[in-house]
């Protein structure tokens, strides 16, 4: 069981973990060892999440979820498959916890009248200063 937040956990049988060869530099080790780990989690097929939680996950993780509702994550930071697996499960739990977190509704606030008046008065004073810098425009005849 992977604990996401209090009251929410996901059993490991709902996750699909695959190992593959990692890319990038590393010489012979990268070419021979399957150290990259890929996690796939089907959000609609999960029995441990409510419909509201599923909808929240799909909407907030829109860029990471496929059209079928499958969340896919990769990890290839470490040289060992076990370390990458641990790192990936930690990242998975954090991403889900952040997406499932209920956000406070923002209250609309108004700018106080005194603040607006003070700003306008400062603008007026600045205008007087700039007006005083201008040359007088008298036409001599």
In this predicted model, which residue has the larger pLDDT, 4 or 87?
87
Could you tell me which CATH class the domain 2-100 is placed in?
A: alpha beta
Q: Identify which has the larger pLDDT, 118 or 32.
A: 118
Check pLDDT > 70 for residue 26. Answer: no
Quick one: pLDDT at residue 38? 87
- 113-132 tens-digit pLDDT: 999 999 999 999 999 999 88
User: Taking the mean position of all CA atoms in its chain, how far away is CA 6?
Assistant: 21
Distance of CA 109 to the CA centre of its chain: 26
Residue 6 has pLDDT above 80, yes or no: no
Residue 11 token pair: 């059993």
Give residue limits of the domains in the chain: 2-100
- Please determine, for residue 30, whether its predicted confidence score (pLDDT) is greater than 60: yes
pLDDT digits (tens, 9 = 90+) for 39-97: 888 887 877 778 887 888 888 888 888 888 888 888 888 777 788 888 888 888 888 88
Residue 139 pLDDT > 70: no
Helix (H, G, I), strand (E, B) or coil at 8: strand
The model's confidence at residue 141, banded by pLDDT at 50, 70 and 90, is low
The answer for residues whose C-beta is within 8 angstroms of residue 93's C-beta and 6 or more apart is 2, 3, 4
């Amino acid at each position: 069981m992977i604990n996401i937040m209090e009251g929410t956990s996901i059993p490991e049988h709902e996750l699909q973990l695959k190992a593959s060869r990692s890319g990038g530099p590393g010489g012979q080790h990268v070419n021979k060892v399957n150290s990259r780990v890929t996690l796939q989690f089907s959000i609609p097929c999960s029995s441990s999440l409510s419909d509201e939680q599923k909808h929240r996950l799909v909407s907030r993780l829109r860029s990471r979820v496929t059209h079928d509702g499958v969340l896919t994550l990769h990890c290839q930071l470490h040289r060992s498959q076990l370390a990458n697996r641990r790192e990936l499960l930690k990242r998975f739990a954090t991403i889900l916890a952040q997406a499932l977190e209920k956000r406070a509704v923002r209250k609309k606030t108004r700018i106080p009248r005194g603040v607006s008046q003070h700003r306008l008065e400062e603008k007026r004073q600045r205008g007087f200063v700039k007006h005083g810098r201008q040359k007088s425009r008298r036409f001599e005849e």
